[in-house]
Structure 1
Amino acid sequence: MYQPQVGDSLDVLDTPAMIVDLALMEGNIASLMKRFRARNVQVRPHLKTVKSPDLALRLLAAGAIGGCVAKVSEAEVMVEGGIEDLLITTEIVGKPKLARLVDLLQAHPLIKVVVDSVVGARELNAAVGAAGLEANVLLDLNVGQNRCGATPGAEALDLARQIGDMEHLQLIGVQGYEGHLQHIHDQQERQQRCQQAMRALTETAEHLRTAGFPIQIVTTGGTGTAEFCADFDGITEVQPGSFVFMDTDYRNALGPVYSNALTILSTVISRPSPDCVIIDAGLKSLSTDSGMAEPKGLAQIAYQPKGDEHGALSWRNENAVGELPLQIGDRVELIPSHIDTTINLHDTYYAYRDGRIEAIWPVAARGKVQ
């Protein structure tokens, strides 16, 4: 089987294939970095979106100070690819995870982790202490998402004091992720609610400093809120990730701030009726947790999965009549509704410029959920 090479036309790709418009992606990265350069806030992009050390290195070259990852297994992939300054944004609990973390910290001491409980902090302290190490930790705060995180204020201060008594943990910052606000379509509401979350985060950080804790990092913010976060005094860094490629869910919330740079290339394989065609991209190619993908450049046509391997394209308006302008063998690009979960379905990025493949990147952290 022929393997696509740099320099090939996109026409050589078998489908479904995940393709990246380099001009659009580079524009997204440059635009975001420019927005934060003037705000005195650092960018630590969340790499759970791109899942690729190749892309992480591009983000570092553009001005990022490091990266975020969600899981220890993602951190293992990123450090192997040369990314050292990582924040693992999910609590690490249980002997298997702690053992893997200790192995990472022995070789990569810049890795930072979050804690939100005394139990978790004690287990972490014991694990790193047994290896003769120390771990830099951030206190994870619940700023409204009601997922993980200690309650801002007195509960957080009490937890910080207990962490302060643990010999092998160094409390250096706080994290508060307002994920529940990322996709609110009303900009004013998104901004107001984000400000409430930032107030809880920064006030707690200041209380901790007053109590004697050297809080250096106050980290927060996703693609939908990062600019609001950065305008709030006390925030030191933001964690956007989806901006690199975007998806329809973020586009619908933010408008045309960033471009949809990644699509899934598919092929029409059947035409059961004049107003419906079948493509070779189904549930194994496009995630649907945030809605349906959209055919690029075909605003009047809707996509619907028809099983693992198949998808249907038909008129978006059920009252529309006439033949679809698609024939068997035609190629169709689809814009994902949720970029992170769609990327996790694919092995390879094919990055192109002017219709020719310029780079091929493995999705090295695909499936890294531990």
Structure 2
Amino acid sequence: MSDSNWYVIDNVAQLDSPALVVYPDRVRENVTLLTQAIYDVNRLRPHVKTNKSREATRLMLEAGIQKFKCATIAEAEMLAMAGATDVLLAYQPVGAKQQRFVELIQKYPDTLFSCLVDNLATALQLSDLASVAEISIPVYVDLNVGMNRTGIAPDEHAKTLYAQLTQLSGIRPVGLHAYDGHIRNPDLAQRTAECDAAFAPVQQLAEALSADGFAPPLIVAGGSPTFPIHTKRHIDGLPPVECSPGTFIYWDKGYGATLAEQPFLPAALVVTRVISLPDDTKLCLDLGHKSIAAECELGLRVSFLNAPELKAIGQSEEHLVVEAGAGHTYQIGDVLYGIPNHICPTVALYERAFTIEDGLVTGEWATVARDRIIAV
């Protein structure tokens, strides 16, 4: 099979659609590319919100990656089930999530769990629960470096909060978390300048904390767009900055189009079929809102590797209508291979991904952390 039709499934007739399919050989290649992009694998803390599966996690573990980041208690538990030894819940636990987090720590003592906090009141609540459970939870102060959704500014208020956290029982501050997902300029030089400007106060805060006698704080920074920038950071007197890309493992059309400097391969697709011909120029596919992330504008949600000319013009829960043009030759039952614009929320729509090896459906990877609750 040539590189141009790497995605073709020879026994696709046995695969119901719509379906999420993953290509393990390409996943392995992406993991290798990730580890080669940084001088120390211990600086990697990949986010698993993209794959949500034990199998993908184990491929990273086999490559020597031991630290991970996640967004939900279920993702954290999935990581522990897979054998991860260091898991950061990149989310501030509030309400019932605090008790679940404590129970998670108790259930998986071989995994070091940590989480984010951005205010003293929440930290006090978590401290009380941890103290009763007789555990100590490492916490990172969540910094707002421009996303404007969670975290506090990396200034004197953050420094004060960090100092206050050291006085609490049940938790202990160990570092700073700075997610700069708003920085995604296609021009790498401009993206680098924006990233460095957003990171500068984080570095200043870390250096100030160290100068005040605190243990030099760990810094977890960035996502996929700023990954190649943070990999180059070295700050004298501070631990190496940890990097947290996530989409790399499956990649998608969105980042493939805007992050040209990153060589990751598309490794997960959606398989769909033509189910109706509404008129002479249109096709209807079984790829509705429930089967592809619908956050982007209609025309950008999915592109078809074997039918790049098709343009989406309408979508509902179970259907996607595309314009094929006059004189097209598509027939009912034709199979199309779609690359999502955003793979992460697309994966979350499927309870399993079918594995494709040597052109054949060979098995499946359960999207186990798609559920909000696994056991805890």
- Can you list the C-alpha shifts for 1:15-73, whole angstroms capped at 9, x where unaligned? 1110112332222221111111x267611110111111221111111232221111223
1:295-334 to 2 correspondences below 5 Å: 295-315=304-324, 321-334=325-338
- Can you list the C-alpha shifts for 1:98-126, whole angstroms capped at 9, x where unaligned? 11111112233500111111111111111
1:65-214 to 2 correspondences below 5 Å: 65-94=66-95, 96-109=96-109, 110-181=112-183, 183-214=184-215
- Describe the SS at the equivalent of 1:178: coil
Report deviation, 1:305: 4.5
1:267-346 to 2 correspondences below 5 Å: 267-290=273-296, 291-315=300-324, 321-346=325-350
1:204-243 to 2 correspondences below 5 Å: 204-234=205-235, 235-243=240-248
After superposition, the Cα gap between the structure-2 partners of 1:207 and 1:61, relative to the gap in structure 1 and judged at 3 Å, is: same
- Can you list the C-alpha shifts for 1:248-301, whole angstroms capped at 9, x where unaligned? 211121126222211110111111223211111111100121342111132222
Query: How many Å separate the matches in 2 of 1:276 and 1:219?
Result: 48
Query: Tell me, which stretches of 5 or more residues in structure 1 are unaligned?
Result: 1-6, 316-320
- Can you list the C-alpha shifts for 1:147-196, whole angstroms capped at 9, x where unaligned? 11121121111001110111222211111000111x32232221111111
1:47-66 to 2 correspondences below 5 Å: 47-66=48-67
Query: How many Å separate the matches in 2 of 1:213 and 1:79?
Result: 30
Matched, 1:362 2:371: no
Residue pair 1:134, 1:170 contacting (<8 A) in 2 also: yes
Partner of 2:6: none
Query: How many Å separate the matches in 2 of 1:105 and 1:22?
Result: 31
Residue pair 2:76, 2:87 contacting (<8 A) in 1 also: yes
Residue pair 1:176, 1:220 contacting (<8 A) in 2 also: yes
After superposition, the Cα gap between the structure-2 partners of 1:61 and 1:135, relative to the gap in structure 1 and judged at 3 Å, is: same
Partner of 2:16: 14
Query: How many Å separate the matches in 1 of 2:214 and 2:105?
Result: 23
After superposition, the Cα gap between the structure-2 partners of 1:81 and 1:26, relative to the gap in structure 1 and judged at 3 Å, is: closer
Residue pair 1:198, 1:229 contacting (<8 A) in 2 also: no
Partner of 2:4: none
Query: How many Å separate the matches in 2 of 1:170 and 1:329?
Result: 58
Query: How many Å separate the matches in 1 of 2:226 and 2:274?
Result: 38
Report deviation, 1:216: 4.6
- Can you list the C-alpha shifts for 1:61-106, whole angstroms capped at 9, x where unaligned? 1232221111223212332333331100010111x11111111122
Report deviation, 1:313: 2.3
RMSD: 2.0
> 1:244 is matched with which residue: 245, 249, 257?
249
Instruction: State how many pairs are aligned.
Output: 356
- Describe the SS at the equivalent of 2:37: helix
After superposition, the Cα gap between the structure-2 partners of 1:289 and 1:261, relative to the gap in structure 1 and judged at 3 Å, is: same
Query: Tell me, which stretches of 5 or more residues in structure 2 are unaligned?
Result: 1-8
- Which 10-residue stretch deviates more, 226-235 or 147-156? 226-235
Q: Normalising by structure 1, what TM-score?
A: 0.91
Identity of aligned residues (%): 28
Partner of 1:3: none
- Describe the SS at the equivalent of 2:368: coil
Query: How many Å separate the matches in 2 of 1:209 and 1:10?
Result: 58
